[in-house]
Every structure is written in C-alpha cells, then in structure tokens.
Structure 1
Amino acid sequence: MFWDRFYDLCVSKGTKPNPVAKDIGISSGILTKWKTIGSLPNGETLIKLADYLDCSVDYLLGRTDNPEVNR
C-alpha cells in the first residue's frame, strides 16, 4: 500500500520516486526495498516524504483515504 500511494503521489506532482528520494536524501537502494519487499520508511523519512508530497503520513501508510494534511 505504501509504495502505491507514494508512487501515485509522485506522478500526480509531475515527478518520479528517484528524484523525490534524491531531494530528501534517500538512496535508490532504499526505494528498491520499499518497492520489492514492501518495507516501510522510518518515522523521520515518512515526515520528510509527507512534507515534500504535501500529504499526511497517515495517507502514505494507508491509515486514511484522505491525503489532506491537518494543519
């Protein structure tokens, strides 16, 4: 679920996962783990991704279907 949401958000923002990862300091190897074995990012990385993609951490993790950030 995480990978699909992450990928879809990247595409909706006009980018792909590799440039996003590079911008927030994540290796392509980590992306591969997320995609192939379904591992999840740590808390700090989730926050960076959510901020970058302008969505909630809960949305990235599939805990809600609402991508809006509660601010």
Structure 2
Amino acid sequence: MKLKELRQAKGMTRAQLSKAIDIPERTIARWENKETDMLLKTGIKLANYFNVTLSEFVDENNSGYR
C-alpha cells in the first residue's frame, strides 16, 4: 500500500490526513507501518482522496498515477 508515499507527495502530515478523512492518526500510522490492514471501503475512500486507482493504491510495485 502506498499510503505514506501518497500522503507525503501531497505534503500532508498524518494529523492533517487524519482530520481530512476522519480516521484516527494512530490508525493511519498502523497502516503505514503495516501493523494492521484497512477495510476495503477505506482503501477505496483513500484511493479516491488521492486520485489514484484502487489497484495503484494497493500495489507497492506500481508507481503510475492517474
């Protein structure tokens, strides 16, 4: 998952993303550190938020953006 890469590319902190998507900052940290998985509906929400396809969002080897 490219969450950290996408967040940093947008110049956002975890706190800013947390506020924007109404998800606890600690949860975002756990996703970025691969400590826990997210629900599919959350992955879709984040892919839409960062304007990438779901496939691009979850595939760490895919560096292409829409």
TM-score (norm 2): 0.74
Gaps of 5+ in 1: none
Q: 1:15 to 1:32 in 2, by over 3 A?
A: closer
Letter in 2 for 1:67: Y
Pair 12,34 (structure 1): closer, same or farther in 2 beyond 3 Å = same
> Is the Cα–Cα contact under 8 Å of residues 7 and 16 in structure 1 kept in the other structure?
no
Q: Percent identity, please.
A: 20
The 5 Å alignment of 1:5-20 reads 5-20=2-17
Which residue matches 2:46?
A: 49
Q: Which moved more, 1:26-35 or 1:55-64?
A: 55-64
Cα distance, 1:45 vs. partner?
0.9
Q: Pick the structure with more helix per residue.
A: 1
Taking only aligned residues, the RMSD between alpha carbons, in angstroms, comes to 2.0
What is the one-letter code of the residue matched to 1:29? R
The TM-score, its normalising length taken from structure 1, stands at 0.70
Gaps of 5+ in 2: none
Name the counterpart of 2:65.
Answer: 67
